[in-house]
Amino acid sequence: MALSAAVALGLYNLWGWWKGVRRVGAIAAHLLLGVGGAEALVVALHNSGLADDDPTHRTAIRALLLLAAAIFTGLGAPLLRRSGYANLALAAHVGAGLAGFFLALTLGT
């Protein structure tokens, strides 16, 4: 649920970015929901009791790695604003975040 809300807020923030508007409150909520969703996936994986070689366990690890990459590139994008690489970091953030989200969605089936 938190990851779905983070994706929705991310799309809202992306729309604002295209219009040249920066919504600090929506960005903060996006950050908190994204980190909270990733943490919830970590807790669910830890409490699942799956073996390390189970395909569901490996898929969850891959989803978490992509979500971690999304978190770090999202946090790094404002730091790269003056160097001109902020747009590249945001593109990596969107790609890794969506890939991690859709991979996490496959765990529920």
User: Per mean pLDDT, which range of 12-16, 52-56, 60-64 is the poorest?
Assistant: 52-56
Predicted pLDDT of residue 81: 86
What CA–CA distance (Å, rounded) separates 42 from 32? 15
Q: Determine the average pLDDT of the residues in 24-44.
A: 95
What is the band of 109 on the pLDDT scale with cuts at 50, 70, 90? low
∠83-80-21 over CA atoms, to 5°? 105
Predicted pLDDT of residue 52: 87
Q: Is the pLDDT of residue 85 over 80?
A: yes
Helix axes 24-48, 86-105, angle to 10 degrees: 40
What's the DSSP call for residue 53? T
Q: Determine the average pLDDT of the residues in 58-80.
A: 95
Predicted pLDDT of residue 84: 84
